[in-house]
Each structure stands twice: as structure tokens, then as C-alpha cells.
Amino acid sequence: MDLLSFARGPALKVALAVFCAGVVWRIAAFALLRIRRDLNRPRNSLFKYLGAGLYTIGTRSWPHPEFIRRTGAGEALGYSYHMGLFVVVLLFAPHIAFLGSLFGITWPGLPNSVITVIAVISLTLFLAVLFRRVTSPVIRMLSNFDDYFSWFITMLVMVTGLAATAQIGARYSTLVAVHILSVDVLLLWFPFGKLMHAFYIFPSRAINGAILARKGAAS
């Protein structure tokens, strides 16, 4: 079995299995802890505060005007590499073929040249993110192995993907195999680290937003 067959065969299968099991495990382990009912009389109706919770998903995507001056640049940096990542992951033809065969649906993609440009920009931003993490005293203090390893593995996926597209360093089949292997590693790591925020971000905003709105407080 060559490297590519291994990467997109058994390795991918194991990675997906660990990913699915791990994600559900991790979520169930805290979601099934005790949930205490809030007995205090709500200020807003259920309908209204649940709606406000959903609204928070959108509004929390960008800082409130009061905070923009201090955090706007940092958040813009974070969101832009995420968006670049999503475009590359979701709109690059080989990725669509990959996801399409997993889920049975496909969609139109973007030209490779556009994808390559976006990927290079995202990669640059991703380097800037690491730079920020190690130079900002606050973020450096908060960072642990999880942050750096999650960064590293995501970076590895990006770099190997770009190398495969540009065919730099080794032959295409090897580069693609290494790229898919790095995705396998990412899937394996996913449930154990901060990458889980992909599943948390919207429910977290919605739940905390709804709890605040229940009190009539700002969210």
C-alpha cells in the first residue's frame, strides 16, 4: 500500500472514527452534567430571549463599537484567516470532490488561481496570528501546548496543501499523501484540543446570549 492509499484509506477511516467518537464524547461529557433551572423570574419572554440568543450568534461576530478600537484589528485578523480557510477548504475543487464523496453532494468551486492566492494570504495571516500569540503578553500567558499544537497542525495542513498544488518539494502523489495525512492528524487531534471551538462557538454565543437576554441585559 502506498502512502496516498494509506492516507486516504485506513488512516482517514481511523481519523474520522476518532473524530466522531471524540467530539460526541467530549460534548456529552459536559452537556450531561447537571443543568440547574434558573428559578429567578425572567424579564423577557422565552420567545424573546431565545431569539436574542440566536441574534447574539451574529452580533458577537464583531466587537461592539465600544470595543473596536482595542480589539478590532485582532478580531479582524482572526476572522480573516478563518474565512480564508473556509474558502479554501470548501471551494477548492479537489476538496469538493473529497467532501462530495463523503457526503454525497457537490457544489461549484473557485478557480485554482483564486484559491491559491487566498491560501497564500491565509497562510500569511496565520503566521501573523502566531506572531501575535508569542508577542502579546496576554495571549502568550494564556497559551498552552494545545494552542501551539493546534496552530502547528493547521499550519501543516495549509503548507502541505499549498506545496501539493504548487508541486514543490516532492512529487504530487507524495505531497497529496502528506497533505491528507496531515488532515488525518488534524482530525485525530480535533476532539482533544481547542479545535473543538468550531462546535462550541455558535451554541456558546447563543446560550450565553439567551441567558443574558433573559435578564434583559445586553448581550
Partner 1 sequence: MITRDAATPASGQLSVGEMLLAHGIGRRGFIKFCTAAASAMALPPWMGAAMAEQLRNAARPSVVYLSFQECTGCFESFTRSFAPTIENLIFNVISLDYDDTLMAAAGDAAEAALASAMRDHFGNYVVVVDGSIPTGAGGAYCTAGGRSAVDTLREAAKGASAIICVGTCSSFGGIPFADPNPTGAWPVTAIVGGVPIINVSGCPPIPEVITGTLLQLVSTGQIPDLDEHRRPKAFFGNTIHDRCYRRPFFDAGKFAKTFDDEGARNGWCLYELGCKGPTTFNACATLKWNGGTSFPIESGHGCLGCSEPGFWDKGSFYSAESTPQWGKAGEATPKQVVELAGITAGVGAVLGTASAGVSRLRQASRQKAAEHEHQGDE
Partner 2 sequence: MSDVAVEGLPAQARVAGAMQGFSREIGALSAFRLESCIHCGICADACHYYVATEDPQYTPIWKVEPFKQAYKREASAFAPLFRLFGFKRAVSAEQLEHWQHLLFDSCNLCGRCSLICPMGIDVAALIEQARHAMFDAGLAPKELYDKAAHQRATGQPEASAEPYRDQLIAIGVRFDVRIPLDESDVDVMLCIPRTDIDHYPGAVAALARVMSHLGVSCTFRSDGLIAENYGYYAGGREWQRDISLRLIDTAIACKAKTLIVPECGHAYAALRWEAADLYGKPLPFKVLAVTEFLAQELGAGRLRLGNATTGPTTFQDPCQLSRTGGVTEAPRALMKAMGVDLQEMRNNGSFSYCCGGGGGVVDIERAAPLRYRTMEIKLREIDDTGANTFLTTCSDCRRTFDDAQRHFSWDKSPESLLELVAKNLIDAGAGR
Coil, strand, or helix at residue 61? coil
Using rule CB under 8 A, residue 197 touches partner 1: no
**Which of 98/147 has CB closer to partner 2?**
147
Q: Which amino acid is at 158?
A: M
Stretch that binds partner 1, among 44-52, 126-134, 144-152, 165-173 (CB under 8 A): 165-173
Burial of 48 (0-12, 13-18, 19+ CB in 10 A): middle
**Which of 26/48 has CB closer to partner 1?**
26
Helices (H), the chain: 3-8, 10-31, 46-59, 65-91, 93-103, 112-135, 137-142, 145-166, 172-189, 197-214
Stretch that binds partner 1, among 41-49, 52-60, 105-113, 140-148 (CB under 8 A): 105-113
- Residues 109 and 91 sit within 8 Å (Cβ to Cβ): yes
In DSSP notation, 148-160 reads HHHHHHHHHHHHH
- Residues 152 and 160 sit within 8 Å (Cβ to Cβ): no
Give the Å distances, CA to CA, from 164 to 13, 104, 153, 187: 22, 25, 16, 19
Using rule CB under 8 A, residue 36 touches partner 1: no
Ranges within 110-169 binding partner 2 (CB under 8 A): 136-147
167 interacts with, out of partner 2, partner 1, none, CB within 5 to 8 A per kind = partner 1
1 interacts with, out of partner 2, partner 1, none, CB within 5 to 8 A per kind = partner 1
Rounded Cα gap, residues 51 and 61, in angstroms: 16
Using rule CB under 8 A, residue 40 touches partner 2: yes
Using rule CB under 8 A, residue 219 touches partner 2: yes
**Which of 121/207 has CB closer to partner 2?**
207
**Binding residue for partner 2 (CB under 8 A) from 30, 47, 103, 107?**
30
Binding site for partner 1 (CB under 8 A): 1-2, 4-5, 8-10, 12-13, 16-34, 93-98, 100-104, 106, 108-115, 167, 171-173, 176, 180
